[in-house]
Amino acid sequence: MRVFKILALFMAIALLLISSPDFISAQDEDAEYDDAAYEALLEKGKEYYNARCEACHGADGDGKGFVDIIRVSEKNGRVLEIYPRDFTVGVYKFRSTATGCLPDDKDLMGTVKRGITKSLMPPQDNISSEETEAVVEYVKSFSERYEEEDPCDQISVADPPVWVASEKSIEKGKKIYKDMKCWECHGDLGKGDGPKSNDITDDWGKRLLPFNFVTGELKRGSTAENVYMTFTAGLDGTGMPSYQDTLNEEDRWHLVSYTLKLMGLTESDKKTASH
Amino acid sequence: MHSRFYLSLLLISSLVLMMFIGMGVYREMTSEWKTYQTEYKNMLVRNAEDDAARKRAEKLEIGLRQNYVASLNKSDRCMSCHIGVENPYMAKADQPFTLHSGDYIENHPVDKFGCTICHYGQGRATNKKEAHGKGHTHWDYPIIPTKYIQSACAKCHDYKMLQEEGAELVVKGEKLFREKGCRGCHKLNGVGGDLGKALDGIGSKPRAYYAMKHVVGEHTAYNWIKQHFDDPRAIVPTSEMRVFMEEDESDLLTTYIFSIREEEMPSKYRFLKNIVTPPRDGESLYKMFCVACHGSGKISVYDEIFDRTIPAITNPPFLRSADNKTIKNIVMEGRGGTQMTSWKTTASGLKEEDVDKIVEYVASSRTYERPEPFNYLEFQTNIDSGMRLYNNRCSYCHGKEGKGGNRQLGINLKNSTVQQVLDPEFLALTIRDGREGTPMPSFGGDGLGLSDQNIADVVAYVKTFGKKK
Amino acid sequence: MDGTKQSGLVKFKDNLFTVKDSLLGSFIRSGAPTSDRSRTAIMFNNFFLHVQTVKTHINTLRPSYTLGMGLIALFLMIIAFISGIFLMVYYNPSIENAFNSVKDINFVVSGGKLMRNVHKWSGEAMIIFVLFHMTRVFYTSSYLRGREFNWLIGIVLLVLTFLLNLTGYMLPWDQLSYWALVIVANIIAAPLEMTDIMGVTKYFDIGGISKELFLGGLVPGKEALNRVYLFHIMLLPAAILIILGVHFWRIRKDGGLTRPDKFDRKDTDTTYITPPDKTGDIFPTYKTYGLMELAKGKTPAVDNDVENTVLSWPNLLIAELAVMMFTLAAVVAYSFYIDAPLKELANPAIPENPAKAPWYFLGLQELVGYSAFMGGQGIPMAALLGLALIPFLDRESEHTGIWFSNKQGLTVTIISFIVGTVGLIGTLAFTIQYGWFRNWWPNIPQIVIVMINPGTIWLGFVMIWSLATIKITGSTRMGAIALFTIFLVSYIILTYTGTVLRGPNWDFFWSQSEWPIH
Amino acid sequence: MSSEAIGKKDLSRRDLLGLTAIGTATIAGLATLGGSLRLVKPNVHFEESTQFKIGKPENFPEGTVRVFDDKNCFIFSDSDGLYAVSSICTHLGCIVSLTEWGFQCPCHGSKYNPEGHVIGGPAPRSLEWFEINQDVDGSLVVDSAKTVAAGTKYIFT
């Protein structure tokens, strides 16, 4: 069911991208906005932001809204402390660009649409594409980074190889998991309880807990492509580095297989679950 | 040559029959316990200190030993193999001959108590596999691992005595049981919540009571209970049990669990010196019934097990706006559609005075400044405007129509308690001032900028959720 | 006076000195079996032997004809009776002690476990061999020529065998016993399904009353165990003994076992008989007859068939002794290796999953899966009725005593076997794959399912198949063969399905190893 | 005569196989019967332990007479020490009662003197005396499975 939902979401996004060529062209002509139109866009974005985002992310986009820290108790009793993103820094986890880069606008828009249900950021499913664009533009305006840098190119992801999630690939992934010391944070069994798990902080000194594969779904969505993108682009601001340079593409896909196995999302897992 | 067929059949069959009768006799002669007893006898004879002792040893009769205790309805044959259990010379011998450890059998002589009254296992069986009852033996009560053996002590003795005389594990387990809030979901003796199964006689439930599919190791009730304390969802995938153990806590609780038994010991076996009833003040009661979900109650947490936010109930902002009567109402009625069940006496078995004590405890950190009142009745409310505001500002946490849960931070607003028990002022205050320590922000003037009129509209709209369309 | 007294004492003295001989003589009344006369005398002077004829037809002694099935069934019964008496020494029919006493038999009674296994397996083997015996009787057309009544008695004995086994299954009071008892009690209550449909349950609750009479209450408890025990050790054994007596008496009255009209001795016959002494004694070539009794059928010693008979002592008795030893040895050997099951103590709160009846009823349980009334009472009744009516609907007696009657009979058997196997497996596979009415139309009235379910459809098919066979072959005998063959095949396939292929929740599994772990 | 001869000859021809077969069958049958009959003798008795504690020696000052109904035993204490006497009549197992002059059996009128010797009635033997031991904790243990010679009295401290 969930898979179906995610799939539907992707289909919707894909359809959206294909069906609105002027949307894409607007992207390309970003710099050519005239000031008045840009102001109007920002105004629209601000309105939406204040109604929907301000409570958590704060009126100034510094992540210090009235809601403050959100606490989530995972199924194993581990309590995650979630801080709403500080937009003034301009560092984002969910990108399809190389590590250290600004995210592509599509990444931000995707996050707004999809929400981050794992962190209780609600999906904005009834938002129009103009509104999304406006709110993303407004969010970008909080950070000075956007005035100085341009987003890097998106990393293209091919379809996952057919052998992903196969027995052999899982075995190889398991070895990589061991060799690359993933277990130091994520634990031997992927429960997020590795030896270093207790002293990880993000770039701003707040405590982070490594992802627990066994109980959770991935924040950006648990498809093979998303897992692959996490390995490739890294999660900026956290302890999760990019493996674009250290692992070749094939190895990353093997690691994806093993991750899916830990999350119980391979075909054989589903079969046993349905029994 | 005549009748050759039948005569041959007769001859062969007779030979086969004789062979199997012989094999049957042989099997009887070389049974496990006979082998052990012979070995024991030889050991006694070999190690005899003097002639008299050797004579006594040689006179040892090899035969089944049965300990029949009529008042306990026990026929234990354990001593057919564990034959040296009362012999002080066997202190250093290996199993099955070794002397019983500790000084337990001094006060609990085997001929008065038997073995299975404490150790369980199948006393009637005369081979190891069946007697210990582990694995596939079709026996409901396998021998109890020694780390849980103190559960048996609690069948006859009071906790104070156990504490003083060396059975502190079960005492600690009992304390944990009270303080982990187990009875928030499980009824025991008719008192407790309804989310989990009642625990009466849980210690003597047969093996088939438990779904053993996910149990690691031997499929025994002991392993099931212990492992489900460690990770409830590893044993019952759909479990909603909120219990988080540290180190040996699961062992201690398991020990206690197996002292909750259906069968009662005869009064002559019970030895209750000084029964101390556990404290029933507000804090103890809060721990007993509330702590499993609400924890300290200071912060509110979105819980992935319940898939909804568990509200903070002891933080001052909440207490500032909710008086004791409101809190008691919520406790008594519960919140329909959530895991908060009703704590009325008829539903939970908890006495009303106990609920009062709990409410008092919850309210004990209340500061006495009152919030600026919100005169709800003074406003002309507009439900349509309220709906628009709600959908725009509230629904992404509380959900459309206030259902909450399912990855939405807000709590359920649709239940009868919010709709009927809580007054509109209380809701309006909450919206205006927010709840510090919870994700509920202040929507009032200084906060997210809703006017009092807006707030009144929203309250009016929220109050329509309960109405049937 | 003095003399008389003297002679009295002398007489007494003589009697005293000859007491050994006279005592022995009163036991061995016919003398040593050294001549045909004394061998004959043994047969009719002994109460236990006189139920058998003095001379036995060679055909009866041919192992390939009877296969010894009836005898094996008899000896299994005797073994079960004797071992049962030994078990009764320790067994205690109370719900507190029944389970414990069976445990004691297993654990502390010398040879108790073996005895219990022998009792259990001889009892269950009896079902198989009674069925085999019935099969032999059927395929050799031995239910004809005056034997119709004995065929009916045989069916009663079959039912009694089932009941004896079933009641025995319930005595250990373990989980198997308890849940079998529950299922059986509810099959007994199955007419409820019909009375409910007719709306007369309130006035005429025959199902409920039968169940209450059986259980002595509404749920199985101490009364039920007592009643089952009474049935198992008293009523049913008494019934089976009496009816078995009639069964044997009828064999004698019906002229012994059947045999072909044209019987030829074979050279190989000498391996299992001792030919009679033709010299002198009571069967001289010039023999005469006196009217001893009136009996139907052909008595062994008329016409030229007398040439084909031999003396029962020792021929028949050696054969019987050998079969008895064979049976006993086989049962003991089987019991030595395979233990009778004993599960956990009965627990009314936790059903076994799957809660299965004993294997010989699992064919019924498979049918019960469609409708409790039809599967548990309707179809079995119809099957028994069908079997009972065979000798009255088929009266072609010309092939009596010949396996499968003739070549055509063998062909019909094989075809019916194939049709029955394929058809029933197909029906079951369809039901397992696609479900039945309720899966398709959830609101369908119960009456439709009771009347039309895979069980009744199969029953209908079997009837049509038999009638079609009669029409095509023009022989009622062939129809009977078709009916009986399919009955056998159905029993075997349904039993196999219920025993092996059904797992927890009565779901389909290829084998028990695929069952989900609990 | 001739038939006898033929009979004998016939018998001898069949002898080897026949007699062996019937002989073996007889032995096998007897073995089965014997094995089965062994089953009837119980291997365990559902009876409580024959040993029972009666308390500390100081509870039995001189002149004490105590009756242990459930254990069928009398305990006496006199100047020579402590002794335990069975209350089971040696005639047919009824329970005797204590009288001024000794013991009286109600069933068939057996009479015993205070030492348990038969003084009347059909009883063939004297009442049995039981062994008394002192346990490690100092309490006294009577074992009704162990009889001692009449007149054995124990002195404990």
Question: Mind listing the pLDDT tens digit for each residue in A52-70?
Answer: 888 888 888 887 877 778 8
For B156-165, how does the pLDDT look when each residue is reduced to its tens digit (9 = 90+)?
A: 898 888 888 8
Which pLDDT score, from 0 to 100, does residue A29 have? 47
Nearest CA in chain B to D135: B106
The verdict on D33 touching C (C-beta cutoff 8 Å) is: no
Which pLDDT score, from 0 to 100, does residue B211 have? 85
C79 CB contacts (<8 Å, ≥6 apart)? C118, C122, C327, C328, C331
**Do residues C102 and C116 lie in contact, with contact meaning Cβ atoms separated by under 8 Å?**
yes
| Closest by Cβ to B24, choosing from C111, C323, C518 | C111
Chains that touch B (3 or more CB pairs under 8 A): A, C, D
Q: Where are the domains of chain B?
A: 32-66+75-136, 159-257, 283-365, 376-462
What is the phi/psi pair of residue D77, to 5°? -135, 125
B308 CB contacts (<8 Å, ≥6 apart)? B302, B338, B339, B404, B405, B406, B408, B411, B412
Which pLDDT score, from 0 to 100, does residue A259 have? 85
Rounded Cα distance, A243 and A237, in Å = 15
Rounded Cα distance, B114 and A1, in Å = 57
B105 CB contacts (<8 Å, ≥6 apart)? B85, B86
| Closest by Cβ to C344, choosing from B75, B127, B139 | B139
The verdict on C77 touching D (C-beta cutoff 8 Å) is: no
Contacts of D137 in chain B (CB under 8 A): 106
For A220-249, how does the pLDDT look when each residue is reduced to its tens digit (9 = 90+)?
A: 777 788 888 888 888 887 878 888 888 888
The verdict on B8 touching D (C-beta cutoff 8 Å) is: yes
Contacts of B213 in chain C (CB under 8 A): 516-518
For C339-381, how does the pLDDT look when each residue is reduced to its tens digit (9 = 90+)?
A: 998 988 888 888 877 778 888 888 888 888 787 788 788 888 8
The verdict on C271 touching D (C-beta cutoff 8 Å) is: no
Mean of all residue pLDDT scores within chain A: 77
Rounded Cα distance, B433 and A260, in Å = 44
Q: How confident is the model at residue B18 (pLDDT cuts 50, 70, 90)?
A: very high
The verdict on C271 touching B (C-beta cutoff 8 Å) is: yes
Does residue C1 carry a pLDDT above 60? no
For C229-263, how does the pLDDT look when each residue is reduced to its tens digit (9 = 90+)?
A: 999 999 999 999 999 999 998 888 887 788 777 77
Which pLDDT score, from 0 to 100, does residue A141 have? 84
Q: How confident is the model at residue C169 (pLDDT cuts 50, 70, 90)?
A: very high
**Do residues B167 and B153 lie in contact, with contact meaning Cβ atoms separated by under 8 Å?**
yes
Which pLDDT score, from 0 to 100, does residue A21 have? 45
Rounded Cα distance, A224 and A228, in Å = 6
Q: Do D10 and C277 touch (CB under 8 A)?
A: yes
Q: How many helices (H) and strands (E) does chain C have?
A: 23, 2
For the record, the structure tokens of C287 come out as 């023999």
**Which residues make beta-bridge pairs with D55?**
D140
- Burial bucket for residue C150 (CB in 10 Å: 0-12, 13-18, 19+): buried
Does residue B444 carry a pLDDT above 50? yes
Q: Which one-letter DSSP state was computed for residue A222?
A: -
Q: How confident is the model at residue A23 (pLDDT cuts 50, 70, 90)?
A: very low
For the record, the structure tokens of C204 come out as 């005429």
The verdict on D79 touching B (C-beta cutoff 8 Å) is: no
Does residue A28 carry a pLDDT above 50? no
Region B80-87: what's the mean pLDDT? 87
For B396-411, how does the pLDDT look when each residue is reduced to its tens digit (9 = 90+)?
A: 788 877 777 677 788 8
For helices C112-139 and C98-107, what crossing angle results, to 10°? 100
Please state which CATH class domain B283-365 belongs to.
mainly alpha
For C177-226, how does the pLDDT look when each residue is reduced to its tens digit (9 = 90+)?
A: 998 888 888 888 888 877 887 877 778 888 888 888 888 888 888 899 99
Which pLDDT score, from 0 to 100, does residue A72 have? 84
Rounded Cα distance, C271 and D17, in Å = 13
Does residue C294 carry a pLDDT above 70? no
Q: Do D7 and C86 touch (CB under 8 A)?
A: no
**Do residues A152 and A102 lie in contact, with contact meaning Cβ atoms separated by under 8 Å?**
yes
Region D91-106: what's the mean pLDDT? 90
- A167-274 fold: Cytochrome Bc1 Complex; Chain D, domain 2 (1.10.760)
Rounded Cα distance, D48 and C205, in Å = 51
Which pLDDT score, from 0 to 100, does residue B397 have? 82
B227 CB contacts (<8 Å, ≥6 apart)? B215, B216, B234, B235
Which pLDDT score, from 0 to 100, does residue A216 have? 63
Contacts of D3 in chain C (CB under 8 A): 35, 277, 279-281
Lowest model confidence (mean pLDDT) among A220-229, B66-75, C462-471, D1-10? D1-10
Query: Which of B374, B372, B368, B393 is closest to B449 using CA atoms?
Result: B393
Query: Which of B405, B160, B177, B430 is closest to B303 using CA atoms?
Result: B405
Does residue D1 carry a pLDDT above 50? no
Q: For the domain B376-462, what is the CATH superfamily, name and number? A: Cytochrome c-like domain (1.10.760.10)
Contacts of D48 in chain B (CB under 8 A): 68-70, 111
Contacts of A76 in chain B (CB under 8 A): 231, 244
Which pLDDT score, from 0 to 100, does residue A262 have? 82
Query: Which of D66, D96, D81 is closest to D151 using CA atoms?
Result: D81
Rounded Cα distance, A78 and A76, in Å = 6
Mean of all residue pLDDT scores within chain D: 83
Q: Which CATH number fits domain B159-257: 3.40.1410.10, 1.20.120.80, 1.20.58.390, 1.10.760.10?
A: 1.10.760.10
HSE value, Cβ hemisphere, 13 Å, CA-based, for C314? 21
Q: Do D41 and C110 touch (CB under 8 A)?
A: yes
Rounded Cα distance, C445 and C455, in Å = 17
Which pLDDT score, from 0 to 100, does residue C446 have? 79
**Do residues B430 and B376 lie in contact, with contact meaning Cβ atoms separated by under 8 Å?**
no
For D51-70, how does the pLDDT look when each residue is reduced to its tens digit (9 = 90+)?
A: 888 888 888 888 888 888 88
**Do residues D24 and B18 lie in contact, with contact meaning Cβ atoms separated by under 8 Å?**
yes
Which pLDDT score, from 0 to 100, does residue B381 have? 83
Mean of all residue pLDDT scores within chain C: 84
Does residue C299 carry a pLDDT above 60? no
Q: Do B409 and A52 touch (CB under 8 A)?
A: no
Q: Where are the domains of chain A?
A: 34-148, 167-274
Reading phi first (left if > 0) and then psi (alpha if -120 to 50, else beta), residue D65 is in beta
Does residue A22 carry a pLDDT above 70? no
Ranked by mean pLDDT, the top range of B317-326, C69-78, C309-318 is C69-78
Which pLDDT score, from 0 to 100, does residue D86 have? 92
What is the pTM (predicted TM-score) of this model? Answer: 0.82
Q: How many helices (H) and strands (E) does chain A have?
A: 12, 4
Q: Which CATH architecture has domain A34-148?
A: Orthogonal Bundle (1.10)
Cβ under 8 Å to B: C residues 109-148? 110-111, 114
Does residue B221 carry a pLDDT above 80? yes
Rounded Cα distance, B442 and B448, in Å = 6
Q: How far is B254 from chain C (nearest CA, A)?
A: 21
The verdict on B32 touching C (C-beta cutoff 8 Å) is: no
Lowest model confidence (mean pLDDT) among B200-209, B385-394, C45-54, C83-92? C45-54
Region B48-68: what's the mean pLDDT? 85
Query: Which of A205, A204, A208, A182 is closest to A195 using CA atoms?
Result: A182
Angle ∠(B372,B375,B381) on CA atoms, nearest 5: 135
Reading phi first (left if > 0) and then psi (alpha if -120 to 50, else beta), residue C74 is in alpha
Q: Do chains A and D touch (3 or more CB pairs under 8 A)?
A: no
The verdict on C281 touching D (C-beta cutoff 8 Å) is: yes
What is the phi/psi pair of residue D130, to 5°? -105, 155
For D70-88, how does the pLDDT look when each residue is reduced to its tens digit (9 = 90+)?
A: 888 999 988 888 899 999 9
Nearest CA in chain B to C325: B13
* Candidates C56, C325, C505, C517, partner chain B, best to mutate (most B CBs within 10 A): C325
Domains B159-257 and B376-462 share a fold: yes
Q: Which one-letter DSSP state was computed for residue A238?
A: S
Lowest model confidence (mean pLDDT) among B52-56, B145-149, B184-188, C508-512? C508-512
Nearest CA in chain B to D15: B1
Which pLDDT score, from 0 to 100, does residue D6 have? 43
Mean of all residue pLDDT scores within chain B: 85
Which pLDDT score, from 0 to 100, does residue C304 have? 54
Does residue B358 carry a pLDDT above 60? yes
Does residue B461 carry a pLDDT above 80? yes
Ranked by mean pLDDT, the top range of B97-101, B299-303, B449-453 is B97-101
Rounded Cα distance, C247 and C151, in Å = 9
The verdict on C330 touching D (C-beta cutoff 8 Å) is: no
Interface pTM, i.e. ipTM: 0.77
Contacts of C104 in chain D (CB under 8 A): 44
